[in-house]
Amino acid sequence: MNDVEHLRLDLQKLYDWSFDWLMLFNIEKCKSLHFCYKNAKSIYSLGGDVVKTEDEEKDLGIIVAQTKFSSQCVAAAKSANKTLGMISRTFVKDKEFMLRQYQTLVRPKLEYCVQAWGPYLRKDIDLLEKVQKRATRLIISNKGLTYGERLRT
């Protein structure tokens, strides 16, 4: 018996248990996500209803995809840029204050669960780095400095 058959059998046992205890699953909320190409066309069911197959799914704030985490990088950069924009519009751009705001409000959005989705593609790393470049440009005392000089100050 292969892995797909084991999973189908386990899903049937799970459904039988839920049926016996009158705790049925909401099939509309159940989804499958394939990480391997050899079983990418496998279809699973719970109680005769087919479980939808998705290409990516958000779980605990992380977008989990079949192959790459580019969607997560885009979402993290977008959220961090929104927060950076709010800080920029609302507060005086003093060096110490901006550094504290960046470390407190922006950086955690870029680093949330990075151990799970760590960017490894150059385009994803550059996208996240653009947020930091933007943050260093917002500090008034950094005007006219290169990115490397802004980081050192």
High-pLDDT (> 90) share of the chain, %: 27
Task: Please report how many Cα atoms fall inside a 13 Å half-sphere around the Cα of residue 147, on the Cβ side.
Answer: 7
Residue 38 to residue 58: CA distance in whole angstroms = 23
Query: Does residue 120 lie within any of the structural domains?
Result: yes
| Same domain membership, residue 103 and residue 45 | no
Per residue in 4-14, pLDDT (tens digit) is: 888 889 999 99
Question: What confidence score (pLDDT) does residue 1 get?
Answer: 66
Domain that holds residue 25: 3-54
Query: What is the tally of structural domains in the chain?
Result: 2
Per-residue model confidence (pLDDT) at position 70: 84
Please tell me whether residues 110 and 147 are part of one structural domain: yes
**Does residue 141 or residue 14 have the better pLDDT?**
14
Tokens 């790393």 found at: 125
Please give the average per-residue pLDDT across 16-20, as a whole number: 93
Q: Which of 55, 86, 85, 81 is nearest to 70 (CA)?
A: 55
Mean pLDDT confidence for 97-104: 90
Please tell me the distance from the alpha carbon of residue 118 to that of residue 73, in angstroms, as a whole number.
Answer: 9
Higher pLDDT among residues 112 and 142, named by residue: 112
- Range 110-133 average pLDDT: 86
Asked if residue 90 belongs to a domain, the reply is yes
Instruction: Verify that 34 and 77 share a domain, yes or no.
Output: no
Whether residue 130 lies inside any domain: the answer is yes
- Residue 87 falls within a domain, yes or no? yes
The verdict on 17 and 76 lying in the same domain is no
Q: What is the pLDDT of residues 42-61, one digit of tens each?
A: 888 888 889 888 888 888 88
Distance separating alpha carbons of residues 77 and 11, to the nearest angstrom = 37
Do 82 and 148 fall within a single domain? yes
- 144 and 77 within one domain: yes
pTM: 0.70
- What pLDDT does 23 receive? 93
State whether 125 and 96 are in the same domain: yes
